[in-house]
Amino acid sequence: MCRAATGARSYAGFVVTWFERRPQSAEVARPKGRGVPQPSIKVDISSLTPELLHFLGQAAYAELGAFENLARAVSTAPTVSAKEGLSAAAARALAKHHGLSGEIRRRGSEPHIAMAPFVERLDHYRQQTQGADWHELLLSCYLTGGLLDDFFIRLSGGLPREVGARVAHLLGEDSGTGVLVTELQSAIVADPALGSRLAMWGRRLVGDTLLVARSAMPKCDQDAAPDSRIEPVFTELIAAHTRRMDDLGLTA
């Protein structure tokens, strides 16, 4: 059985309490690679994708936040080697942000105007997910960055074809996060207590991030009736998240 499917199931409780999940289908989504979800359940994603400028503003501000977290990790890195590696990851997050800003400008708007509606919520989210120390911050960069990239790539399938493809390509590019994995793996091996703490932190991060993702969808009041269209998307996101936790030797 593939790890992704196992991981997706281990989060079933979380998803059930949220969406009052329908009886589980045998056709669980099996992402085959980061940023390239392969849903086996056909979902009309366009009904979940926000209007174009709304999407771009939100994704652009999320990438700017990912950059800010990575820049903070650069500044607080304990070694020059880690600083150097993280600076490359920061540059890639910034390139994604500027790519999205370019798409906003191409539509005659300004990035700061398109991003404005999302500042308060995403600033609050980022404050909640910064962690208490450098390793918690690294885990946050790795997990929340990955989850949000995956989420916006998935939603981009509902955008007008040309821009959707460009956005998916941009967000799917290598994030240079190998340095995060390397630093976290070696720290966890050296200190098992850190591993336990980071596993707990990872669970908190996925919860907070899925809440932000949920609120990014149009007409998705969290008190509203369950929506079977949303569930497969979240199942994919959680499966990819679980693979990231597995890579670090952490239980999702």
Whether residue 248 contacts residue 178, with contact meaning beta carbons closer than 8 Å, is answered with: no
**Beta carbon nearer to a copy of itself, 53 or 220:** 53
Smallest distance from the beta carbon of 67 to a copy of itself, in angstroms? Answer: 7
DSSP 143-169: HHHHHHHHHHHHHHTTS-HHHHHHHHH
**Beta carbon nearer to a copy of itself, 41 or 119:** 119
Taking the C-alpha atoms of residue 115 and residue 181, their distance in angstroms, rounded to an integer, is: 30
**Beta carbon nearer to a copy of itself, 61 or 234:** 61
**Beta carbon nearer to a copy of itself, 29 or 114:** 114
Smallest distance from the beta carbon of 85 to a copy of itself, in angstroms? Answer: 9
- Return the half-sphere exposure (C-beta side, CA atoms, 13 A cut-off) of residue 129: 31
Smallest distance from the beta carbon of 98 to a copy of itself, in angstroms? Answer: 7
Tokens of 19: 């969406």
Smallest distance from the beta carbon of 101 to a copy of itself, in angstroms? Answer: 7
What one-letter code names the amino acid at 200? M
Alpha-helix residue ranges (DSSP H) falling in 76-160: 80-106, 111-115, 119-128, 134-156
Smallest distance from the beta carbon of 111 to a copy of itself, in angstroms? Answer: 5
**Beta carbon nearer to a copy of itself, 39 or 111:** 111
Residue with tokens 């669980």: 28
Per CB under 8 A, residues contacting a copy of itself are 61, 64, 67-68, 71-72, 74-75, 79-81, 83-84, 87-88, 90-91, 94-95, 97-98, 101, 110-112, 115-116, 119
